[in-house]
A and B are shown apart, each in its own frame.
Chain A
Amino acid sequence: DGGITQSPKYLFRKEGQNVTLSCEQNLNHDAMYWYRQDPGQGLRLIYYSQIVNDFQKGDIAEGYSVSREKKESFPLTVTSAQKNPTAFYLCASSMRGLTGDNQPQHFGDGTRLSIL
């Protein structure tokens, strides 16, 4: 089955700890994205990548880092610098359209991160 796999579903972070959220897609999509969603709030873009070995900061990149070494993988690290990491993290991917516009994004099932 083609899709986007995020793991783990639930993650707990201790103070001062870095944690890494995994996102893998087998849709052959070019672009991948990370969002954060707080309860009752909309989606906020953390980082995105249009192509392997390149990525851009979104609206709330501070305290997060990413890498894009393979087309199918876009892991997100929540560093200890992110003081309020408790949230629902969503990974998405999309094709690039012929005109350069992005096609619709498709989402993984998300990872819930909590502070211990």
Chain B
Amino acid sequence: QKEVEQNSGPLSVPEGAIASLNCTYSDRGSQSFFWYRQYSGKSPELIMSIYSNGDKEDGRFTAQLNKASQYVSLLIRDSQPSDSATYLCAAPLRGKLIFGQGTELSVKP
């Protein structure tokens, strides 16, 4: 089992819909999780950090962490075409950041 796993997608949603991106992790000791957005040809950009169980909201983005289920998700409300990108989840482990393979999101106008 990979330490951090994501659905590879692509995930396609219509403009204005909610996009749901999911990530599971194997290390129960992981305490924090990060979501990055990577536009095609660009470097990853940190968009959300979450450190405790529950939800964290920032504008149209909500990160959800369930440590018991070892599951973290990112919801994007009112999706826009500009949200079309690859989304990476990551967890720190043994001095490194372990990244999932990324989920490609396409928002159709």
Residue positions of A touching B, CB distance < 8 A: 31, 33, 41-43, 45, 48, 50, 56, 58, 90, 92, 94, 99, 101-110
Interface pair A106/B46, CB less than 8 Å apart: yes
Complex CA distance for A99 and B96, rounded to whole angstroms: 14
B98 → chain A, closest Cβ, in Å?
9
Residue positions of B touching A, CB distance < 8 A: 31-32, 34, 42-46, 49, 88, 90, 92, 95-97, 99-102
Interface pair B97/A102, CB less than 8 Å apart: yes
Contact of B88 among A43, A45, A106 (CB under 8 A): A43
Contact of A42 among B49, B96, B101 (CB under 8 A): B101
Closest to A90 in B: B43
A109 contacts which chain B residues (CB < 8 A)?
42-43
Interface pair A42/B88, CB less than 8 Å apart: yes
Contact of A90 among B44, B49, B100 (CB under 8 A): B44
Interface centre among B34, B42, B43, B101 (most CB of A within 10 A): B43
B63 → chain A, closest Cβ, in Å?
12
Closest to A59 in B: B96
A33 contacts which chain B residues (CB < 8 A)?
96-97
A94 contacts which chain B residues (CB < 8 A)?
97
Interface pair B46/A48, CB less than 8 Å apart: no
Given known A-B contacts A42-B101, A108-B43, A102 and B96 have beta carbons under 8 A apart = yes
Complex CA distance for A8 and B96, rounded to whole angstroms: 25
A105 → chain B, closest Cβ, in Å?
5
Interface pair A50/B43, CB less than 8 Å apart: no
Closest to A99 in B: B31
Closest to B95 in A: A50
Complex CA distance for A104 and B52, rounded to whole angstroms: 15
Interface pair B102/A48, CB less than 8 Å apart: no
Give 4 new A-B contacts, CB below 8 A, not counting A92-B97, A105-B46, A107-B43.
Answer: A43-B88, A102-B96, A105-B34, A105-B90
Interface pair B49/A104, CB less than 8 Å apart: yes
Closest to B102 in A: A42
B21 → chain A, closest Cβ, in Å?
15
Complex CA distance for A33 and B97, rounded to whole angstroms: 10
